[in-house]
Amino acid sequence: MKAEGKKKKKSMQDNVLDAAIVAVMILVVFSCLYPFLLAVIMSFNEGIDALKGGIYFWPRKLTFENYGSLFKDPVWGNAFLVTLARTVIGTTMTVFFTLFVSYGLSHKDLVFRKFYFSFFIFAMYFSGGVIPYYILLRSLHLLNKFWVYVVPGCLSLFYILVATSFFQGIPEEIAESAKLDGAGELKIFRSLILPLSKPIMATIAIFTSVGHWNNWYDSAFFATSNKGIRTMAYLMTAIINQSSTQNSAADAAMAAGVRTTTTLSIQLAAMVIAVLPILCVYPFFQRYFVTGLTVGAVKS
Amino acid sequence: MKGESKAKRYRRSVWREFWKQRSLQIFVLAGIVYILIFNYIPMFGLVIGFKDYKITSGIAGMISSPWVGFKHFVEFFADYKFVELMRNTLVLSILKLICSFPIPIIFAIMLNEVRHEGTKKFIQTISYLPYFISWVIVAGLLRIIASDSGIINDILMRAGLIAAPLEFLTSPRFFYGLCILTAIWKDTGWWTIIFLAAITGVDPTMYEAASIDGATRIQKMKYITFPSIAGTVTVVLILALGNLLGGGLSGSNFEQSYLLGNAGNREVADIIQTYVMRIGLSQGRYSYATAVGMLQSVISVMLVYSSNFISKKVSGDGLF
């Protein structure tokens, strides 16, 4: 009798707990997805009409004009190409340079190995800050050039540590036997080690490419005077930073004309385009995040 | 005499070994040279905080420009912006850490209670989507959600809670709340990964034993799950404290201040990092900006060491 009462109380508590968990999970899923959904909906709505508000679940005045204006605008088109180019070139450089250095570092009998490690780890924890860095970029004549996006940062200290421990897991006999056959280190690296490194390559590539795709910082501060190499993310900051009065003035001018788009509605279309690749790709790389994160936490 | 020749011989054998593995050495040295240029030169460049540096003098100017001691630091302390910048930086950092740090831990413990594996994985995948989204996009999304005619104001007005739209994006009153909420939204899912991984590592027999003893699920969370991940929590907390002034776990202070700050909320949004960018790059006061930035780094290093020290005293282990 007593035991039964206790059991009933427990299941009551369990029910409350389950209800709370379900509520939290729904809240999380909704809050993570709805803002994107709303951006998609509003990007398909006439811009001027959208300013009135009240669009939450479907477009009120369906139009493709926002996307049309976006694709026709040479500034956005150029920014798209620049962003794509820096993502592809930058990621490729980082992946190969990082693996290249890590492969050398993974040899336990490497002379000065301890010193090399300390050298890299020290650089990971201490930095000179942004102003000396800017001076360096200026002295290297990288400012306002496309290369300022991909050359700095094409070697990732953090992934050197991750990749070195990955390479140490590859049996040494593989390289040894190739060496007996007279293969040079570069050949071993290219034809034996790289094919085995797909998981680590994927990890580095995902994080680096997302970083490049989203980057607005270097475009805003290190390429200020070159309009030809602005990235998509930077163009969006330029619109966000415009005061609302400026926007309204521009929008009023549009309202007087025949166009139904606004700076905001075109920006929404651009946002959807910018988020789309990430949205499509990221769910497939879950296992790499977990390895990257846990290895990172252990190392640091 | 004999010892010296031995040392010489040893040195020669080191270099012979070095020569034998020269191709591997080239692999690594390429990285060393790169890091020397892109990390160590800027580190050395910190000296210009104690000098009067002119941008036209290039890298050589870091050495040749005249020393001025603590002139720039003194100037910053005396600046009318000093108190405001320090206050804003500290308030934003501390509020964000306190409010956002516990959330991934709680969420991980709750997510672990979701029994259906597929659902669990689905929710987790959705939850870290925001982590991959640029802060620029976050700022853009806020413009449609929190604007005058946005959904939040609409709901509040329909519910009769407010008469006129609240200026979430431009009023100083809402800036910190905006930063805290967006930081939670963006980073919770990501940091949940590491806590959930720690929870998955807990020995299941402990739960079974507790069930036999009649422990409720809440008791199990409190007495088994949480203590088992306390080590991971400590490590992540020290990392977050080390980057406190940068914005905690994911270091988002600069992005938030720069992208969510505007003429309306500047008085609370302006922080040391945005100030450094403005006076350094826009006004060209390189030495002064370097000194101001260095001050933040010094505070950060002190924070890492003191949080590690406290952690050692309290829980018996720290990061180093």
Q: Where are the domains of chain A?
A: 71-228+282-299
- pLDDT tens, residue by residue, B101-152: 999 999 999 999 998 999 999 999 999 999 999 999 999 999 889 988 889 9
Indicate whether A69 pLDDT > 50. Answer: yes
**Which chain A residues are closer than 8 Å to B44 by Cβ?**
128, 132
- Look at residue A185 in the predicted model and tell me its pLDDT: 85
A47: pLDDT strictly greater than 90:
no
Confidence of residue A2 (pLDDT cuts 50, 70, 90): very low
Half-sphere exposure at residue B68, Cβ-oriented, CA atoms within 13 angstroms: 16
Q: How high is the pLDDT of residue A298? A: 45
Place B78 in a pLDDT band, splitting at 50, 70 and 90: very high
User: Is the pLDDT reported for residue A76 higher than 80?
Assistant: yes
Residues 55-94 of B with CB under 8 A from A: 55, 58-59, 62
B127 touches chain A (CB under 8 A): yes
Question: Cβ of B38 and A152 within 8 Å?
Answer: yes
Of all residues in chain A, the one with the smallest CA distance to B14 is A111
Among A49-63, A136-150, B179-193, the least confident range = A49-63
Q: Which domains does chain B have, with CATH numbers?
A: 2-64 (no CATH), 72-315 (1.10.3720.10)
Cβ–Cβ < 8 Å for B272, B249:
no
* pLDDT above 70 for B221: yes
Residues 182-241 of B with CB under 8 A from A: 185, 188-190, 193-194, 197, 214, 216-218, 232, 235-236, 239
For B14-69, how does the pLDDT look when each residue is reduced to its tens digit (9 = 90+)? 888 888 888 899 999 999 999 999 999 999 999 999 999 999 998 999 999 999 99
Residue A178 forms contact with B (CB below 8 Å): no
Give the integer Cα–Cα distance in Å for A109 and A113.
Answer: 8
The reported pLDDT for the residue numbered A248 is 58
pLDDT above 90 as % of chain A: 52
Cβ–Cβ of A116/B32 closer than 8 Å? yes
pLDDT band (50, 70, 90) for residue A257: low
Query: Global pTM?
Result: 0.89
Q: Does B283 touch chain A (CB under 8 A)?
A: no
A52 contacts chain B (CB < 8 A)? yes
Distance from the A273 Cα atom to the nearest Cα atom in chain B, whole angstroms: 11
pLDDT digits (tens, 9 = 90+) for A261-279: 888 888 999 999 999 999 8
Segment of A3-7, A284-288, B210-214 carrying the highest mean pLDDT = B210-214
pLDDT at A170 exceeding the cut of 90:
no
Q: What is the mean pLDDT of residues A166-175?
A: 84
Per mean pLDDT, which range of A133-137, A252-256, B161-165 is the poorest? A252-256
Q: Is B50 near chain A, with CB under 8 Å?
A: no
Q: How confident is the model at residue B168 (pLDDT cuts 50, 70, 90)?
A: very high
CB A163 within 8 A of CB B28: no
ipTM of the complex in this document: 0.89
A30 CB near a chain B CB, below 8 Å?
no
Q: Are the Cβ atoms of A21 and B130 closer than 8 angstroms?
A: no
Distance from CA of A62 to the nearest CA of B (A): 17
Q: Do residue B197 and residue A53 have CB atoms under 8 angstroms apart? A: no
Name the CATH superfamily housing domain A71-228+282-299: MetI-like (1.10.3720.10)
| pLDDT (0 to 100) of residue A295 | 54
Residue A254: the pLDDT is: 58
Mean pLDDT along residues A150-162: 92
Cβ of B48 within 8 Å of Cβ of A268? The answer is no
CB atoms near residue B98 (< 10 Å): 11
pLDDT at site B250:
74
Nearest neighbour of B30 by CB, restricted to A36, A101, A294: A101
| Mean pLDDT (chain B, rounded) | 90
Chain-wide mean pLDDT for chain A?
Answer: 86
pLDDT value at residue A261 = 83
Please give, one letter per residue, the 3-state secondary structure of chain B.
CHHHHHHHHHHHHHHHHHHHCHHHHHHHHHHHHHHHHHHHHHHHHHHHHHECCCHHHCCHHHHHCCECCCHHHHHHHHCCCHHHHHHHHHHHHHHHHHHHCHHHHHHHHHHHCCCCHHHHHHHHHHHCHHHHCCHHHHHHHHHHHCCCCCHHHHHHHHCCCCCCCCCCCCCHHHHHHHHHHHHHHHHHHHHHHHHHHHHHCCCHHHHHHHHHCCCCHHHHHHHHHHHHCHHHHHHHHHHHHHCHHHCHHHCCHHHHHHHHCCCCCHHHHCCHHHHHHHHHHHCCCHHHHHHHHHHHHHHHHHHHHHHHHHHHHHHCCCCC
Partner residue facing B133 (CB), from A14, A155, A275 = A275
A:88-117 residues touching chain B, CB 8 A cutoff:
97, 100-101, 103-105, 107, 109-112, 116
pLDDT score recorded for residue A10: 59
